[in-house]
Every structure is written in structure tokens, then in C-alpha cells.
Amino acid sequence: MKPDGFNPSPPDAGVGDDIYALAERLFPICRSITGNGVRQTLDILSGHVGLERREVATGTQVFDWTVPREWNIRAARITGPDGRVIVDFADCNLHVVSYSAPFNGTLSLQELKRHIHTLPEQPELIPYRTSYYAETWGFCMAHNRLAELPDGLYRVEIDSEFKDGSLTYGEYLHRGLTDREFLLSAHICHPSLANDNCSGLALLATIARHLRSRRTRYSYRFLFAPGTIGSLAWLAHNEAGTGRIDHGLVVSCAGDAGGPTYKRSRRGDAYIDRAMAHVLSRESKATLLDFWPYGYDERQFCSPGFNLPVGMFQRSAFGTFPQYHTSADDLQFIRPEHLASSFRILMDVIDIVEGDWTPLNLFPKGEPQLGRRGLYAALGGETSTGLSSIALLWVLNLADGNHSLLSMAERSGLSFTEIAAAASLLAEHGLLADAAFATA
């Protein structure tokens, strides 16, 4: 017997607009590795797919790390010598270094500059900076604006707080026919940065919503957690179950015009690496990168104590585009058509994971006569069905019980969809069986 006929995900003409609209709702929120901004973001995502929220208390040990104190900020501003506000957190949440300690005082311009971050090479932009694990305070502003400031005394106010609270993350599990899992993860700790990573959050929430009505072999776990410390907290809490993870993707920077880009897992030859490489072989500007121990949470999932089969999907790779970690990573930088393309790529990978099987040719001596079985007629002129006679012949030739459909697609250069459809047709006509169930 073979699995049910191949049923690829249907197209969704409006999916890019839907993902963009969700990213647009997430964009204004001030997020960090802890705090109410994360909870507010999870509230919005929960409106699209039911999330289970986890709170990990301050001081909890997660491997070699400790969950820090919870941080929240209410307001921050710098007022100039003439009484005018020159920097205001209310205008842009990138203006304050994330995890800044509270401060209230008057400083000279020279003293203030020690706490100001700018980008001299991009003088119109506000940088994004953090100080998660070193208590300090600071502001970020456009370099041109800093250069215009006159000497004098400046009033500085940061209304923030640290408290013993918790780190928050959310997860959603779409249960399949088996408990084998596909993990999809996006970091939730960045503030108003549209590509990095409102796009990733919105994309995965939309994929989760689309899977709710689909019957799947695999269970799909969606994780929305703060970078590094969040994935470590999840791994520490779920260590016993990580052996169920057969495939995984970290998703970020999914909405710009670049790429797409895939960074392989530490294993380098995991099934997810092959599936992503096959799907991206159809993309003219795709880039495949080998694993290296820097980046996002794939570093934690691929650490040697876990070595999970988790790669990273992006469009433009982080750090390679001028908008990265600046105020230029705004809602104009991401577009619905690029979000739709990212959605289609990841759904194609899911289709491979769900639709792959290993067929066995039941008439392996010579080619079976296809014409008398009506198979050539079933092609319908080939272009009308998306099938081709060469796909039938490749499947029959490689169906020796040792080649999965993905292997056949890789060997033939044909798409997985075409190979899977050909195998389904051949099985319907009694020419193939599932090698896993075939008997001598």
C-alpha cells in the first residue's frame, strides 16, 4: 500500500496581504527578551492560532544561562538646553537601548554622548542596540541629529524598571497522525523591526493557521520565543521530547526582496537540508549556506548536546542588507508579494515532508506497457495536468525500494510535485506499492 494520494497545499491568492496585515499590527510594539511587549505580541498571535503561553521565572537556570529580571519601559526622552524634546521613545521605540536601566538626571553634552549610539555611515537612520546582560542605559538616534546638538545641559529621563518576573514564550502544536515533529521557530524579542522579525512571526502564525484544517502525518510545533534565552528555556523544559524532532526551521527576515537564503543545519545533510535545497533550486536567486555557529536560534537547536536537524530560512541573510537593525527596517521594506513567496516556499517544503514515500515497482523487468493502461491518455497532453511521460519513466526506473520521491526528484531534476503526482498515478494503476509495506 502507499500513502494517500499527493495533495499539495492549495494556492492562496491573498496570503501575502494577510501576512503583511498581521506584521503591520505587530510592528509598533516594543518587544525585548522579557516584558509586557512580548505578552502583547503573543495576545495578537493567539488571535490567529491558539497559543499556549509559558512563563519562566526570573532566576531559573537554563543550562549555562539564567533567566534575567523582567524589563519594562514606560517612557524615555532627552530634553535640550532650550527645553525642546530632541529624542522621545514615544516617537520610535528604537530610540532607547533595549534593557536600559532607569535614569533621571542632567548631563553635559560631552557626558551624554557617552550614552548615545549612532550610525555615522548611515547618518539618517536610528540604530537598534541592546544591553540584555550588562546593566547600563543608552539612547539611539540619527547621527546627523546628534551632530546638530549645541553645547549645554540636557535633561535625561528613562522610566523603566527591572523586577523579579518571568520570561514569556508561546507555542502551538498542530497534532498529526504521529508524534514525530517538525519544529518551526521565530524570535519574538525585536521591537519595531519589520523584516527582523515581524515578518517571521506573522509568516509562521499564518502557516499554523493554514495547517489547522489539514490532516498531516507529522505534528507541527510552532515556537515564538525570545532569541537565545527563550530557545534555551524551551529546550531545558522540553529536553526529553527533543528526540521527536525530525525536521526544523528557524524563520526570520522573510519579507524583503532579497534571496531567498537557506542556512543548513549543523548536520549538513539532514532531510530538511535536502528538502530546502530542492525547493530553492527552483528559485533563480536562491543562496544555500553551510552551517556556522553564529546567527539566530539554530545555534541553540544545533548545539552539540542536541544537534537537531534545524536549518534557518530567510530572504536576505541577516546582517547583509543596509536596513538590518536600523529604523529603515520598516513596513515599507517588506512587501506582501515577498511574504507570499516565503509562504509558498515553506509550504512546498511541508508538502515534501508530508508527501514523500518510497515506492517499489511491481513490474521491474523492462518498462510496463503504459499505453494499454491508459496512462499516456491520463497525461492529458501533459501541459494540462502538470505531468509528463518522463516523470512516469523516472519513477518506474528508480522505484527499486531504495529511492524516496525526494531522491527521485533530486536525481531527475524534476520538481517533487511532478514526481509525486506521477507516483500517485502509477500506484492508482497498480504499478507501484509502498516499499515499507511490500512483501516478497
Please answer whether residues 332 and 268 qualify as being in contact, where contact means their C-beta atoms are separated by less than 8 angstroms: no
Residue 437 grid cell: 509495506
User: Residue 82's CB: how many other CB atoms inside 10 A?
Assistant: 8
In the block, residue with C-alpha cell 530610540: 95
The distance from CA 364 to its chain's CA centroid, rounded to whole angstroms, is 43
Question: Binding site: which residues?
Answer: 190, 196, 325
DSSP 376-423: HHHTTTTTTTT--HHHHHHHHHH-BSS--HHHHHHHH---HHHHHHHH
Cα 217 to Cα 433: distance, rounded to the nearest angstrom: 19
Residues 6+ apart with CB under 8 A from 260: 280, 283, 285, 286, 287, 313, 314, 315, 341, 342, 345
Please answer whether residues 234 and 171 qualify as being in contact, where contact means their C-beta atoms are separated by less than 8 angstroms: yes
Residues 6+ apart with CB under 8 A from 100: 73, 76, 131, 136, 137, 138, 158, 160
Cα 420 to Cα 399: distance, rounded to the nearest angstrom: 12
Residues 6+ apart with CB under 8 A from 105: 155, 156
Question: Binding site for Zn(2+): which residues?
Answer: 190, 196, 325
